[in-house]
Amino acid sequence: MRKYLALGVLLWFCAPANAQIQRSYHYGVVPTENITTFEVNPSTTVIDDSGGVSSSQLTLKTYRVISERFNWGVEVPLSRYESPDKSVSGLGDALFSVSWLIPEGDRLLGYGFKMEVFVPTATDRLLGAGQLQLSPSAFILFSLPGNLYAAAGYKHYQSVVGDHARDDINYGRLRLNVGYTSPSPW
């Protein structure tokens, strides 16, 4: 029952009515870093193609501005794990984050830092890592013509506490993102 209550609270934070776009815009290198957003991101990871093992997620994300340079966010994944032996659906590990963006004077370049905390909220051990994780990252943002932007950075994943029967998490990823931001409010 507590997990369903936690799911309800987290989904409330991600509700579209709670994430409407603000009326005042602080355009910087990446406008979406400075306004309130709501996203729905589907993803699939094939773990073993020949064995028929895969994981699918529908992640609900909301990010809200704190100030021109800071924002915070919540991500709640609804997950499905499929294999010939067992298939389960439920809540994955939730994520909470805080970002700090520093645009340069010309507003074409910026850099920032982000701290993410993965909380072990999965309703089944196959749907999450079972450990509290810290994930700091550093990034550089480039404004491109036509409302496009690119970001490059490094993100590190480190488990802090959790299920001792599972392997500890300690790895890094280089990331490159390209995106488009619409100039008109919706």
Q: Is residue 150 in a domain?
A: yes
pLDDT tens-place string over residues 130-186: 899 999 999 998 888 877 889 999 999 999 988 878 888 899 999 998 887 776 655
One-letter amino acid at 177 equals: N
Q: What confidence score (pLDDT) does residue 186 get?
A: 56
Q: Is residue 46 in a domain?
A: yes
**Within 10 Å of residue 143's Cβ, how many Cβ atoms?**
21
**Within 10 Å of residue 7's Cβ, how many Cβ atoms?**
17
Q: Which residues contact 143 (CB under 8 A, 6 or more apart)?
A: 29, 30, 107, 108, 109, 149
DSSP secondary structure letters along 64-125 = EESSSSEEEEEEEEEEEEE-SS-EEEEE--EEEEEEEEEE-TTSSEEEEEEEEEEE---SSG
Domain of residue 71: give its range. Answer: 2-180
List the one residue out of 54, 27, 31, 50 whose CA is nearest residue 42.
Answer: 54
Q: Which residues contact 31 (CB under 8 A, 6 or more apart)?
A: 25, 181
Q: What is the pTM of this model?
A: 0.72
Q: Is residue 118 in a domain?
A: yes
Q: Is residue 154 in a domain?
A: yes
CA distance linking residue 129 with residue 171, whole number of Å? 14
**Mean pLDDT, residues 22-33:** 48
What is the number of structural domains in the chain? Answer: 1
Q: Is residue 29 in a domain?
A: yes
Q: Is residue 186 in a domain?
A: no
Q: Is residue 74 in a domain?
A: yes
Q: Is residue 23 in a domain?
A: yes
pLDDT at 20 over 70: no
Q: What confidence score (pLDDT) does residue 84 get?
A: 93
Residue matched to tokens 């073993």: 48
pLDDT > 90 in the chain, percent:
44
CA distance linking residue 124 with residue 76, whole number of Å? 15
Q: What's the Cα-to-Cα distance from 150 to each of 28, 109, 112, 114, 145, rounded to whole Å? A: 13, 10, 13, 16, 11
